[in-house]
Amino acid sequence: MSEHGGPAGADGCDGGRGHGTHGIPRATDARTTPPAPPAITATDVGWRQRHELGTLQGAGGGMERTAPTMAHLAAKGAPVPRPLDPALAIVQGEHLGKDVLWRFMTGGLSPAEMRHVFGHLLRGCPSCREQAREVWNITEQDQPLPAFLPIPATPAIVSDGPLDASRTAATERPEPAPAAGPGGPNETAYETVLDRVFSRIATEEAGIEAARRRADALFEELMQHPPARQQLLVQNSSRFRDRMLCERLLTASHDEGFREPARSEQLARIAVAVAERVADICPEAAVDSSSAAPSDTLAGMRARAWAQLGNALRIRSDLDGAAVAFRSAEALMAAHPRLGLLDKARIFDLKASLCKDRRHFAEAARLLDRVITIYQRLGQSNLTGRALTQKAALQFYAGDREDCMVLLRRALELIDPHEDPRCYLNARHNLIVALADDGKPREAFAMLFHARPLYLKMGDRMNLLRLRWLEGQVALGLHRLEQAETAFREVRGAYVELGLEYDVALVSLDLAMVFAQQGRATDMRRLAEEMLAFFESRQILPEAMAAFLVFCNAARVEQAGLALVQEVAAFLKQARHAPDLRFVPRC
Amino acid sequence: MSAPDTSASEGSLEHFLKSVRPRMRTLFAHYRVPPQDTEDIVQQALLALLYQRQAIRDPEAWLMGTLRNKCLLYWREQRRKLYDAVDAAVLELMAEPMAPEQEGADVRRDLEMAIERLPERCRALLSLRYHQGYEPPELAERLGYSPTSISKTTNRCLAALTRELTMTGLGRRKTS
C-alpha cells in the first residue's frame, strides 16, 4: 500500500482582533463606533425601559404591557436602547425585564450581571420568576425549554481535550438548528455587519498577497545558508519572524517528506523556530486562550509546526522523537480549544500516521474518524477522500481487506481526479493492490487496465515503477508467470539502482514466488545469493534481515517452497511498519 | 458548487463574497447569533480563508463549514457563561451566614431537591461543591477524576443543575 503524509492543513481562527498581526482593525472596535447611540445614563435607561419598552415593572407593580423585542424596534428603524443593567435594576429594587431575562438565558450579559440575575431568581422573587417562566416559555406540559435551544450542545469537534479520540463520527454530527425565541434577529439585520467586514477584507487581501511574496523572498534567502546558520538567523533576526514564512516552511517540509526526509526534518525545525519566535512577539498568543483571533491563529500555526516536525521525525523512523514533538502540538491544542478545524484535522491526521507506525491501529482509526468528520463538515470532499484512503491503508495493515476495499471505493467517489490526480491514483492503486492481495486477480486486472492511463499521465518514475510492479503481481495472481517474471525483474533492477533496499527485498521475494511456482530451484538459489550480497552491504532492519536469511538458507539447499517465500514476504510487508515484530518461521 | 479563485484579483474576491453573502445571512439568522457578535466571527473566518486559501479546495464549502462551527463555539461560550453564573450564584447563596427567614430555607430546599433529581455522579459532585466548598482540583482528587477531566465533568453537572433549576426550581415552582 502506498502512503502519503496527509493533506496540508489550513484554517484557524485567523486574526481579526487588534492591529498587531494583520493590520486589520479589531471588528469590535469598528462596530462600537459608527451608529453611536445617544449617551444614556442608567436613569435614562430605566426611564426608557419603563415608559417606552415596558420591559420593567416598578418595584410593586405588575406587568403593564407586553414588551416589544429589540428586533421589532430595529425593524421599525427605531433606536434600540441598551437594556437596563440588571445588576443596577436589582440594586434599585426593580425587577427584571423580558429582554434581560432572555439575554441572561443566552449568555448575553456580563458575568456580574449574569450572577446577579440568577441570584435574584434563585432567592425567589415571585414576579421575576413569573416573568422568567413567560419569557422562557415554560408551560405545564413537559415540552423542552426553548431557552436552552439557542445554545446547541457542544460539538465534539470543538472539544476541550486535544485528542479525545473516544468520540466517534456519530457523536460529531452537526447540531440541530436553534429554536426561535424573543428578540431573534432577521437576515437583514446582518447586512451592515457584512458590508463592514467585506470592505475590510478586500483591503486586507492586497496586504496578504504582499506578505506572501515577502515570505517567498525570505525563504529563498534563508535557503542560501547552511542549516545551523538558518537557525541562528531565525533566532536573532526579526526579519524572519514572519507568519507567512512559517507557512512556506511547513509546506516545503511536507513536500520534502516524499523526497528527502532529512531535509524535511531540517525545514520543520526551522518552521518551529519561526512559529515560536512569531508567538514571542505576540505574547497574547502564548498565554491568552480566551480571546478570539491572533491567539488561536498563532497557536494553530505553532501546533501545526510541531506536528510537522513530529511527522518528519516519524518518516525518519525516530518514533520517540516524533511522540515528543506531538506532545508539544497537543499541549497547544489543549491550551487553545478554539483552534481552527483544519488545523486540528491536520494535526490529527499526522498523529494518526504516527499511531499507525507504532501499530496503535485503533487509536489511529479513531483519529482518522475525527479527521474525516471535520473534512465532511467543512465540505472538503477531496480531503475526506484522502483521509479515507489513509484509513483504508490502516485496515489493510490490520488485515481487514474487505473494510479496506469499502473505504477505498468511498474515497474514489469523493476524490476529483482532475483536482487531485495523485491522490486519486493513490486510492486506485491501493484498491488494486488490495484486490490482488485478497485473491481477486481478475477484478484487479480489469481495474488496472482502466487505471493504466492515470499512471502514464502522472509520468514520474516512481509511479511507473509502481505500475510495473502491480502488473507483475496481478500477472502472478493470474498465473501468467512469464509476464510476472519480466515485470519483477525490471522493477527489481530499477529499485537496486535507486538504492531502495526494502523494496528490492519485497520485489525479489515476488520474483522468488514465480521461481517457486515453476520449480526453478537453481534460479531461486542464484537470486538468494545475489540479494544476500546486496543486503549485506546496506542497512536493513535486523528482523527483516533475519527473515530474509531464513529464505536464503532454504534456497541454498533448494528447500525454499512457495509457502516459505509467501510467509517471508508477508512478514517483510508487516515489519516495514512494525520494526519490533519478530519473525518465527512456520514452514 | 462555485469555487472562485480568490487569488486572481480583487474582483474575484468580491464576486466570491457576493455569492456567499445570502448563505452567510441565512446561517447567522439560523443560529440566531446577534448581529453585533457576528462581526468577529466573519472577519476571522474570511482572514483564515485569505491566509490559507492554497490549502482550501472548495472555499465556499470551507467558509460555510467554518462559520457553522464558529456559531456553535459562540453558543458554547454563551452557555458556559450561564453555567458559571449559576455556579457563582449558588455558591454565594450557600455562603450566606443566615438564610433570610422562611424564604431562604425554601430556596435551599429548592436547591437540595434540584440536586437530588440529578444523576448520582452529579449529586456527589455538587454536594461536595456546595455543602463543603470543594474546588475542582479537590473534587477530582476526592471523586477519582483526572485533573484534566474534572472541569468538563463539573460543567456537565452544572448544565444539568441549570436545566433542573430553570425548568422546575424557577419556572414551575408555584410562587405566592
ipTM: 0.76
Query: Hey, what's the cell of A120?
Result: 435574584
Distance separating alpha carbons of residues B119 and B77, to the nearest angstrom: 24
Q: How confident is the model over A337-373, as pLDDT tens digits?
A: 778 888 899 999 999 999 988 878 889 999 999 999 9
Which one, of A198, A387, A374, A420, lies nearest residue B61 by Cα? A374
Q: Which of A18-22, A30-34, A326-330 has the highest mean pLDDT?
A: A326-330
Quick check: A318 pLDDT over 90? no
Where does residue A535 rank: exposed (0-12), middle (13-18), buried (19+ CB within 10 A)? buried
By the CB < 8 Å criterion, does B107 face chain A? Answer: yes
Q: State the average pLDDT over residues A198-223.
A: 87
What stretch of H or E contains A353?
helix A341-357
CB A157 within 8 A of CB A342: no
Which one, of A89, A78, A98, lies nearest residue A37 by Cα? A78
Quick check: A266 pLDDT over 70? yes
Contact call for B58 and A193, based on CB within 8 A? no
Q: How confident is the model over A41-57, as pLDDT tens digits?
A: 333 333 233 333 333 33
Where does residue A283 rank: exposed (0-12), middle (13-18), buried (19+ CB within 10 A)? exposed
Output the CA torsion A271→A276→A280→A285 (10° steps): 110
Q: What is the pLDDT of residue A88?
A: 53
Q: State the average pLDDT over residues A439-468.
A: 88
Q: State the average pLDDT over residues A245-262.
A: 86
Using an 8 Å CB-CB cutoff, list chain A residues near B29. 184-187, 189-190
Is residue A74 very low, low, confident or very high in pLDDT (cuts 50, 70, 90)?
Answer: very low
Q: What is the pLDDT of residue A537?
A: 67
Q: Where are the alpha helices (DSSP H) in A78-164?
A: 86-91, 98-105, 111-122, 126-135
By the CB < 8 Å criterion, does B3 face chain A? Answer: no
- A561-569 long-range Cβ contacts below 8 angstroms, 24+ apart: A561/A516, A561/A587, A562/A513, A562/A516, A562/A517, A563/A587, A565/A509, A565/A512, A565/A513, A565/A516, A566/A513, A568/A509, A569/A506, A569/A509, A569/A510, A569/A513
Three-state SS string over chain B comes to: CCCCCCCCCHHHHHHHHHHHHHHHHHHHHHHCCCHHHHHHHHHHHHHHHHHCHHHCCCHHHHHHHHHHHHHHHHHHHHHHHHHHHHHHHHHHHHHCCCCCHHHHHHHHHHHHHHHHCCCHHHHHHHHHHHHHCCCHHHHHHHHCCCCCCHHHHHHHHHHHHHHHHHHHHHCCCCCC
Tell me the nearest-neighbour CA distance from A196 into chain B, angstroms: 8
Contact call for B42 and A193, based on CB within 8 A? yes
CB atoms within 10 A of CB B12: 14
Query: Hey, what's the cell of B136?
Result: 475542582
Q: What is the pLDDT of residue A131?
A: 75
Contact call for B166 and A145, based on CB within 8 A? yes
Q: State the average pLDDT over residues A179-201.
A: 75
Q: What is the pLDDT of residue B101?
A: 56
Which one, of A520, A518, A525, lies nearest residue A479 by Cα? A518
Is residue A532 very low, low, confident or very high in pLDDT (cuts 50, 70, 90)?
Answer: confident
Distance separating alpha carbons of residues B41 and B46, to the nearest angstrom: 9
Is residue A81 very low, low, confident or very high in pLDDT (cuts 50, 70, 90)?
Answer: very low
- Residue A4: partners with Cβ closer than 8 Å, 6 or more residues away: A258, A386, A389, A390, A423, A426
What stretch of H or E contains A368?
helix A361-377
Tell me the nearest-neighbour CA distance from A79 into chain B, angstroms: 15
Q: How confident is the model over A534-581, as pLDDT tens digits?
A: 777 666 677 777 888 888 888 877 777 778 888 888 887 777 766 667
- Residue B49: partners with Cβ closer than 8 Å, 6 or more residues away: A14, B6, B56, B59, B62, B63, B66
Contact call for B171 and A136, based on CB within 8 A? yes
Is residue A14 very low, low, confident or very high in pLDDT (cuts 50, 70, 90)?
Answer: very low
Q: What is the pLDDT of residue A267?
A: 94
**Residue with grid cell 425585564, as numbered in its chain:** A97
Contact call for B175 and A10, based on CB within 8 A? no
Rounded to a whole number, what is the largest CA-CA distance in chain B? Answer: 73
Quick check: A196 pLDDT over 80? yes
Quick check: A442 pLDDT over 90? yes
Is residue A265 very low, low, confident or very high in pLDDT (cuts 50, 70, 90)?
Answer: very high
Sign, CA torsion B162/B164/B169/B173: positive
Which of B29, B38, B167 is the closest to A193 by Cβ? B38
Contact call for A419 and B57, based on CB within 8 A? yes
Using an 8 Å CB-CB cutoff, list chain A residues near B61. 378-380
Which of B43, B62, B88 is the closest to A379 by Cβ? B62
Contact call for B35 and A247, based on CB within 8 A? no
A79 φ/ψ angles, rounded to the nearest 5 degrees: -65, 135
CB A371 within 8 A of CB A7: no
Q: What is the pLDDT of residue A126?
A: 74
Distance of CA A306 to the CA centre of its chain: 14
Contact call for A377 and B68, based on CB within 8 A? yes
Tell me the nearest-neighbour CA distance from A285 into chain B, angstroms: 15
Q: How confident is the model over B105-143, as pLDDT tens digits?
A: 666 777 788 888 888 888 889 888 888 888 888 888 888
Contact call for B169 and A122, based on CB within 8 A? yes
Question: A interface mutation test: which of B13, B18, B46, B47 has the most A CBs within 10 A?
Answer: B47
Tell me the nearest-neighbour CA distance from A564 into chain B, angstroms: 47
Q: How confident is the model over A161-173, as pLDDT tens digits?
A: 333 333 333 333 3
Radius of gyration for chain A, computed over Cα atoms and rounded to the nearest angstrom: 32
| For B48, nearest residue in chain A (alpha carbons) | A14
By the CB < 8 Å criterion, does B113 face chain A? Answer: no
Distance separating alpha carbons of residues A19 and B47, to the nearest angstrom: 13
